[in-house]
Amino acid sequence: MMFVLHRVLREWNRTGDKWAHLPDVGDWIRQPEQSIVLTASLLVCCIIQVWLRVPDVMMVFGLVCGTLYHVSTNDYFAWFAYFFMLTKIAGLRPKFGPDEWTCLRDAFNLLTLIISRSYNIPALTLVQLLEYQLRKVSRRSKLPLLSIIFLYYLHASSTFFLLGNSNAISSIDVSAGFAAVPFYFAPLHGFLILAHTYAGPIFWMASLAQVVGSMLDNRSLLLTVTMLLLIDGVFLLITLTNVTLQRRHLFIWTVFAPKVLYKCVGSWLVSFSVMVALKTTLI
C-alpha cells in the first residue's frame, strides 16, 4: 500500500530539471475540462480526511468548510475553517502530550487544506494516508526508535518535492499567503507562505512528535531530539560541503544557492520544532 501511495505521489507533481517538462497528474486535473473530476476528487479527499478524524467533531466541520471553500471559491467557508482551526488550537494545554500533538497536527492539516491549490489537495490526502500506513507498520513491526526517526525524516524531506516544490525560488506559491485573507499584514502572509512551502516537512515532524510522545518517557524524548538534530545536521553538512566544492560552478546562484536557502530554512524549522517539543513536554 505504501509503495502504491509513493508511486501516485511521484506522478502527481514532477519537479526537477529532468522531469519538469513531463506531464503529470496535477497538470491534467487542473485543466478546465477536468473540473468535474477535480470536484469529485475533492469530495473523496474530504471523506477520507473525515474518516481519519471521525471522533473530532470540530475538525470534521473545519474539513468540510475547507473543502467547500475550494469547491465554491467562497471566502466565507474559509473563514469558518479558520475559526474552527483557531478554536482547536486555543483549547491546547500548556503541557503537551500525544493528544495535544495530534490536535496541533490536525489543525495544521486544516490550515494547509485552506491555503493549498485545489489540484494539490489529493496529494496532501495521500501524504496523510501514507503517514497513517507508516504508523501502523511501525507499531506492528515494533521498529527501533532510530528507524522510526529516520523514516519520518526521509518522508519529510521527500514530501517537500512531492507536493510540487523544487530547488528553484520561483516554485514558491506567493498566492498561498493571501488565501481568504481580506487585509494586508506582512507577518501573517509570510507565515502562510512558509506554512504552504514546508507543509510536508512540518506535517511529518508533528506526526513524529505525536508517535514518539505516545510511546516514550522524557529521557527517551531527549534521545529522540538528539538523533533528529544529528541526522538533520549531517544532511545540512553534506549540502554545504557540496556547495563549497561547486562554488565556481556556472549555476552557483541559480541552482546551488537556492538549495542552501531551502535547506537552512528546513533545518531551522526542525530546530524550532525540537525546542517547542522540549519546552512543552518537559515543563
Q: What count of residues does the chain have?
A: 283
- Structural domain for 108, as ranges: 2-281
Q: How many CB atoms within 10 Å of residue 220?
A: 11
What percent of the chain clears pLDDT 90, i.e. is strictly above it?
Answer: 14
Separation CA 188–CA 170 (nearest Å)? 20
Residue 20 has pLDDT above 70, yes or no: no
Instruction: Kindly report, residue by residue over 125-138, the tens digit of the pLDDT.
Output: 999 999 988 888 88
Structure confidence at residue 17 (pLDDT): 61
- The arithmetic mean of pLDDT across residues 141-169, rounded, is 86
Instruction: Kindly report, residue by residue over 62-101, the tens digit of the pLDDT.
Output: 888 988 998 887 888 999 999 988 888 877 665 566 667 7
Are 38 and 120 in contact by the 8 Å Cβ rule? The answer is: no
pTM: 0.89
Cα dist from 157 to 173, 235, 270, whole Å: 18, 10, 11
Contacts of 85 (CB under 8 A, 6+ apart): 62, 107, 110, 111
Structure confidence at residue 281 (pLDDT): 62
Cα dist from 122 to 45, 51, 126, whole Å: 6, 15, 6
Residue 4 has pLDDT above 80, yes or no: yes
Smallest Cα–Cα separation from 122: which of 208, 28, 207, 190?
Answer: 28
Number of domain units in the chain: 1
**pLDDT range class, residue 255, cuts 50, 70, 90:** confident
Taking CB atoms within 8 Å and a gap of at least 24, the contacts of 214-222 are 214/98, 216/145, 218/281, 218/282, 220/145, 221/277, 221/278, 221/281, 221/282, 222/278
DSSP annotation string for 210-234 = HHHHTT--HHHHHHHHHHHHHHHHH
Separation CA 191–CA 185 (nearest Å)? 10
Residue 21 has pLDDT above 80, yes or no: no
- The arithmetic mean of pLDDT across residues 25-44, rounded, is 84
Residue 44 has pLDDT above 80, yes or no: yes
Structure confidence at residue 198 (pLDDT): 93
Grid cell at residue 216: 516514550
| Angle subtended by helix axes 98-115 and 121-141, to nearest 10 | 160
